[in-house]
Chain A
Amino acid sequence: MRDTVVIAAQTLLLAVLAPAVVGYVRFAKARLQGRRGAGVLQPYRELRKTFGKGMVIAESASWIFHVAPFAILGATLAAASLAPVVSAVQPADVLGDLFVLTALLMLGTFFLALGGLDPGTAFGGMGSSREMTVAALTEPTLAIAILTLALTTGSTSLGVIAGSVLKTPAYAVGPGHAMAFTAFLIAMIAETGRLPVDNPSTHLELTMIHEAMILEYSGPYLALIEWAASIRLALLLTLAANLFLPWGLAASLAPSALAAGFVAILVKLGVLGLLLALLETRVAKLRLFRVPELLALSFTLALLAAASSFFTR
């Protein structure tokens, strides 16, 4: 019972916090670009507005179009439930490990791509094809990054990884973790469709990846997909924060420790979000066929990380 509550509470926290993370990144980006920008809470207003609108469904769409938003959200929430957000005591370890988490994210991507293909428009198919390509090419990097974590901490379970880095801080500054962190960040950027892989604020259909798939969605369905996308971003940032730099995570379920853990994750998301905004103002979007080069770079880093973990063991 206690375990269920811990899992549900952390998942809910991540889900509720997610739009704010997106809003914060947008806000920081606007300030860095010399604009005033909308407030951090703007995505909540947008979600409420979209959720309350009516829907237009394409006649060419089938039931897949109706199922996809729920499948995407379900898979993303299930993935989020595995992540340690405020506490290193992680009962969700009995459900699955990091490989399960990546597979659940892939399940979401799978349905997103089907939803893009379903109405039979050129842009939807284009988005699906590109999204799947990028997702497939990111997998090896993620796998090797997981291997690196497992080589130093002895496990692929998220709670165990966070817990053992907490206990032995030397792991986090080892060459393996440092390089794996960079590799993971690049993979994360590709997985969440941020610059330089995909531009989340683009209006030009031909350059779209994520946006192209959801062009036909409107109303509550669109709100669900947007929400799932923000949870995905928040989830991957949380993973980067709590697997590689787990300081501040509550080591027990005492209220004071949990409060400290909550503050710690807010601070870490703030720093990582700022980094993301900084990166997005500094780099231009890559041509689609240059993206594999970026992913190859992150893969090489991850492989080096794994190899160095072997030799520093």
Chain B
Amino acid sequence: MTLSLLFDSMIAAFALGAVAAIVLPPGAVMRRVALAAAAAGSAAALLLGASVLRAGATWTGRWENLLQPLGGVSLRLDSLGAFFLVIVGFTGVPASLYAIGYLRNLDGHLRGRATHALFNVFLASMCLVPCADNAGTFLFAWEVMALSSYLLVVSDPEQQDASSAGLWYAVMTHAGFLALLAAFVILGQGGSWEFVALRNAAAALTPAARTLVFLLMAAAFGSKAGLVPLHVWLPRAHPAAPSHVSALMSAAMVNLGIYGLARVVFDLLPPGPPWWGGLLLAAGVVTALTGVLYSVAETHLKRVLAYSTVENVGLVFIGLGFALLMRGYGYGPLASMGLVAALLHTLNHAAFKSLLFLAAGSVVHGTRSASMEAFGGLIKRMPATALLSLVGALALAGLPPLNGFPSEWLTFQLLVAGAQHTAPALAILLPLALAGVALVAGLAAVSGVRLFGITFLALPRSDGARDAHEASAIMIAAMAIPAVTCIALGVAPTLVLPQLSRIVSDLGQPAGPLSAGFALSVPLVGSRLWPGAIALLVVTAGLAAAVAVRLAGRVRQVRVGPAWNCGRIAQSPRSEYTAAAFAEPLKRVFTGFYRPTQEVTVEVHPASRYFVRAIRLRADLAPWMEQILYEPLLRAAQAASDRMRRIHSGSIHFYLALLPGALLVLLIVARWIR
């Protein structure tokens, strides 16, 4: 009963927020009411998910009259759905609170109404997706989520590239929607679109049809999650949205793609051949590598984070693919380990990515720039944001004692255990995957150093950075929520392991215990990780050294002076390392991947070419994935529409003749389908 109450109050809060944004007079009150309602709704979602997870119960709800043409609204929240509901609620609360301080400049704008209302709709639809229990409800919530986030992406008129980003997003998400629809149509041939019926229908399908459903679903959910090569919209759309929406898109919406795939592959479809898992695993490795390589080279702050989302989605897919692969081969304990690793990483990524996007919002807000080249030295002007970002950067780098590390460690263990205990057929795939994950981990550390160091350290490189202002108190408080979670999950990941094990065993993969006390333990490889003790060791050793220095070192003789800089007298921000410079060695090492383009223009004095007045360097990376994969498609679409245009002759007689022709074709098709 309380579960229903929680669900009702969640929906009521979002509805209240959306209505308040539209009817209240535009101003501070409207902003506070609408966004506080969003926060309350998210908190209710968090509570609902958490209580379902803790009680091990399921909650169901059914409204026949709503959405009748789609088979009525049918909801069922089991442990898997509840976990993702928790993630949405958990990222929704700080994002909403943050927006109260962040969107102050929208007061009085008409745009403010739309933004706040859509934000509530977006959150509500994301909360509905993991609750849906029939294809109709699922598709409806999915499409509302896509549309509201699309409108939020294009909502900022000051973003020049928002409309192009929105176009990419709209096209990709609808292509994904079509694939999803097609898959559900194949599954729903029995007539009913309830998930129970789909489960039975899937068992009756031929293997070829099942594979088709799997591929369609993988493409549809993969495109939402940012699986390479369907990721192209993500680094465009996520950064173009306002930062609190970026946080939600990267930390919650992307995960619903993962939810969808997990639901289909581990719940709706019966176990498939191992190569399904191999495909997902390989796609995961490619995705993680592509994401991290671009995130290391990108200089637009929010795009760095968006590419890092691609990377982390890749890591989650490695876990999912591994689980599927092992289930295919019949290694149950390994399969459940893979699922646990994937779910844990999803949670960890949601925590640190929402933190980092919100912090990026503060930086962009405080400096009025989004390019990392224009930052520098912000740690002095924005101390709180800098400290919170350091937590996020360490987690993003996958380093202990933050939460990026335990799930990465589990992924390593997974691949080692897989290589140790399974068929020789995987003798090359799994070591290569392990090497890929290790390279991703290393490059993520580079990305973390670069993200934090180039943004917050050294001297300010622009006027905006020199006069940057700290975020408001409520924004800092909102960022502190995920930051504390990052630390808690990093020091004691075992707190959530029982819940994850329950989800996995609910999916029919009984999990062996992966924890021993406060330590993660993988009996298959005989390895352990006790993150709390590790954190304690690092901190104790560091503090002991600090005490030693204070007692014995000559701390009194500390002079603060100009940097030595190897004897250079003047220190100028023009000579310090920039984001592009920091990534230069990697760009050279991975030239084949980046395909950098360079253009150097030298301006010389008219008197002599030896007097150089200015040298300009323009460096860019060739977007070869787009060029190779999408340009042919675009050209084909262009050609097709050109051909269609020829019908438009302007003659009304011709148009009238087309009408009965079209009717005839439709009748024949309808007859054939019947």
User: Which A residues are closer than 8 A to B by beta carbons?
Assistant: 51-64, 69-71, 73-75, 77-78, 81, 93-97, 99-100, 103-104, 106-107, 109-110, 113-114, 117-126, 128-130, 132-133, 135-140, 142-144, 146-147, 150-151, 154-157, 160, 205, 215-216, 219-221, 224, 288-289, 292, 299, 303, 306-307, 310-311
Check B379–A119 contact: CB distance below 8 A: no
Check B538–A128 contact: CB distance below 8 A: no
| Docked CA distance A70–B546 (Å) | 7
| Docked CA distance A221–B558 (Å) | 11
Check B563–A306 contact: CB distance below 8 A: no
- Given A122-B565, A139-B439, A151-B420, verify A117-B449 contact (CB < 8 Å): yes
Sample 28 A-B pairs with CB under 8 A, ordered by A number: A54-B554, A54-B557, A55-B558, A58-B562, A63-B379, A71-B542, A95-B529, A103-B398, A103-B441, A106-B442, A107-B399, A110-B445, A113-B449, A118-B458, A119-B458, A119-B563, A122-B565, A122-B575, A125-B582, A129-B581, A129-B582, A136-B446, A140-B435, A144-B434, A150-B419, A154-B420, A155-B527, A306-B431
Q: How far is the CB of B493 from chain A (nearest CB, A)?
A: 13
Partner of B438, one of A93, A126, A142, A205: A142
Contacts of A128 in B (CB 8 A): 449, 453, 577, 582
Partner of B442, one of A54, A135, A150: A135
Contacts of A70 in B (CB 8 A): 542-543, 545-546
- Given A144-B435, A156-B525, verify A99-B537 contact (CB < 8 Å): no
Contacts of A138 in B (CB 8 A): 442
Check A117–B454 contact: CB distance below 8 A: yes
Check A129–B431 contact: CB distance below 8 A: no
| Docked CA distance A61–B557 (Å) | 17
- Given A120-B576, A125-B576, A289-B589, verify A104-B394 contact (CB < 8 Å): no
Contacts of B439 in A (CB 8 A): 136-137, 139-140
- Given A59-B563, A99-B413, verify A160-B377 contact (CB < 8 Å): no
| Docked CA distance A129–B458 (Å) | 14
Check B585–A125 contact: CB distance below 8 A: no
Check B538–A74 contact: CB distance below 8 A: yes
Partner of B435, one of A62, A121, A132, A299: A299
Contacts of A55 in B (CB 8 A): 554-555, 557-559
| Docked CA distance A69–B555 (Å) | 14
Q: How far is the CB of B193 from chain A (nearest CB, A)?
A: 45
Q: What count of chain B residues pass the 8 Å CB interface test?
A: 92
| Docked CA distance A97–B336 (Å) | 22
Contacts of B397 in A (CB 8 A): 106, 110
Chain B 576-595 interface mask (CB, 8 Å, partner A; 1/0): 11000111111011000000
- Given A59-B560, A133-B446, A151-B419, verify A74-B377 contact (CB < 8 Å): no
Chain B interface helix/strand/loop/mixed: helix
Check A307–B431 contact: CB distance below 8 A: yes
Chain B 395-436 interface mask (CB, 8 Å, partner A; 1/0): 001111000010001001101100110001001100110111
User: Which 10 residue pairs are nearest across A and B when measured between Cβ atoms?
Assistant: A125-B577, A54-B557, A120-B458, A74-B542, A136-B442, A139-B442, A143-B438, A220-B553, A58-B563, A155-B526
Q: How far is the CB of A197 from chain B (nearest CB, A)?
A: 13
User: Which B residues are closer than 8 A to A by beta carbons?
Assistant: 376-377, 379-380, 390, 394, 397-400, 405, 409, 412-413, 415-416, 419-420, 424, 427-428, 431-432, 434-439, 441-443, 445-446, 448-450, 452-454, 456-459, 519, 525-530, 533-534, 537-543, 545-546, 549, 552-566, 568, 571, 573, 575-577, 581-586, 588-589
| Docked CA distance A154–B575 (Å) | 51
Check B534–A78 contact: CB distance below 8 A: yes
Check A106–B445 contact: CB distance below 8 A: yes
| Docked CA distance A119–B534 (Å) | 30
| Docked CA distance A43–B413 (Å) | 39
Q: How far is the CB of B534 from chain A (nearest CB, A)?
A: 6
Check B525–A150 contact: CB distance below 8 A: yes
Check A56–B559 contact: CB distance below 8 A: yes
Check B563–A157 contact: CB distance below 8 A: no
Highest count of chain A CB atoms <10 Å: which of B553, B559, B566: B553
| Docked CA distance A313–B660 (Å) | 73
| B446 nearest in chain A by CB position | A132
Check A107–B420 contact: CB distance below 8 A: no
Contacts of B399 in A (CB 8 A): 103, 106-107, 110
